[in-house]
Amino acid sequence: MKVTKDMLTEKQKECVNFSSHRDLIVQGVAGSGKSLVVINRALQIYEKTKEKGKRAKIAVFTYANSLVKYTHEVLENGGEEASSDIKVSTLDSEILSLYRKIVGHSTNGVYNNYSRELDDVVLELERQYPDSRFFKKEKREFLMDEIKWMKQHIMKRFSDYETCVRKGRGATRVTKDDRRIIYDVYEKFYEKLKFKNARTIDVIAEELVKKVIPEYCQYDFVLVDEAQDLTLSKMIIAKSLARVSITVSADFAQKIYKTGFTWKEAGIEIRGQASKKLQGTHRNTKQIAALANSLTEANTEIKRYDEEDFTVPELPKREGPLPQLIYENSYRQEQEDIITLIKEIRSNKPESTIALLGRDKTYIGKMQTWLNRASIPYQLIDKNNDYKVLEPGVKVVKYHSSKGLEFNYVIMPFIDDGIFPYTKYAADDDDDSVEDLMNEARSLMYVGMTRARDMLYMFAVDGVDGNPSPLIEDLDGSMMEVKNY
């Protein structure tokens, strides 16, 4: 895919040409061209400063390693000289590098699981708060996410948490009394980590927020792609890295994690024309977009967003076949039919990209086994592997890593109960928790569905091996072809 300005719509050009000396927020639905805008804006800034005999220091930060590789591919395929002068990395990588430079401490173990430490804290506090529902085992994941969110918001005292709006934290109710208990957990947990000299990515980000970023670490222009799942502390750092301006793209309909922040909290003041919305998708067919939108309409978390954070989707004009939902009577039959489908696509459309999407490493491994047994070559889109997103062929990728990417054909196996929503470790069946699980699954499915340019296939088991996902009921039946085998 060559990056040329004639690929852009008038609205996209308006974003690219917006003053480089002002902060800019670009919002739009999946496939509306947000990443294309970010890349072209970075290139234009580079070219204009070069014309003046200057050299701008430009950084593009993305949400995931897969999007870093994709951005590099797009720049390299365009044959742009700027591809070597524009830094592209994940924001996490930049933060860890910055921490080592400024603070001088090791960043080993920042993504370690500290669930045992949380268990110890809960055990200590249970004597003080014996009736707290948040000390139940099934609430442990929520509790960990909540105290992480508090650290991401750099909370220093109970009053910070007592009165705050828990934006993006889902449907789970937290009363004033609950907040007192949770804040005690927060304090004791991070005290325990400090005693062990352990640092999470959120602890590191908090430390950096308190520092003055040296000029040699800053960039003239910072651009952040797929920002909706970043945390507040990370966005504050991204803003502080920009000497001149920051450009941010986001789509809150694709939000997977319960992070949540406002642009104002991040220090990004958006006034007048500095907030742009890209209407419509240029990736999907009308049929794929309509089906994905029907799933979004059932997402109650999206309904809680401010109007300024949500872009009302417009259906594209490009027509295509109806997406297919295939019910299988067993996992073995599902495997056989998917392998047959992939062989047919590769034979009929050899220049196409085909994505097999998986919920986690367990399902990624299952699909790799299928392909290996069938002797079908594929590329695993993973930070530890070498791959080319734009190269024709089969790609195996997690839903979380697929954000910002696109493929001609998308195949979504395992649209089953227990996977969508994901209830592998969940035992909490109160209404709020169930609603959060359903919304998380809807967002993830929406991300997967909207990766497809030309055709979407979804597979669900309805038999002795399992039951179809309840989310299938959210889909507009008139916008898909249902097959039973």
Summarize the annotated binding site for ATP as residue ranges: 28-35
Extract long-range pairs of 218-221: CB within 8 Å, 24+ residues apart: 218/57, 218/242, 218/243, 219/57, 219/58, 219/59, 219/87, 219/243, 220/49, 220/56, 220/57, 220/58, 220/244, 221/20, 221/42, 221/45, 221/56, 221/57, 221/58, 221/59, 221/245, 221/246, 221/247
Residue numbers in the known binding site are: 28-35
Walk across the sheet containing 452-461 and list its strands: 378-380, 393-398, 353-358, 407-412, 452-461, 324-328, 481-484
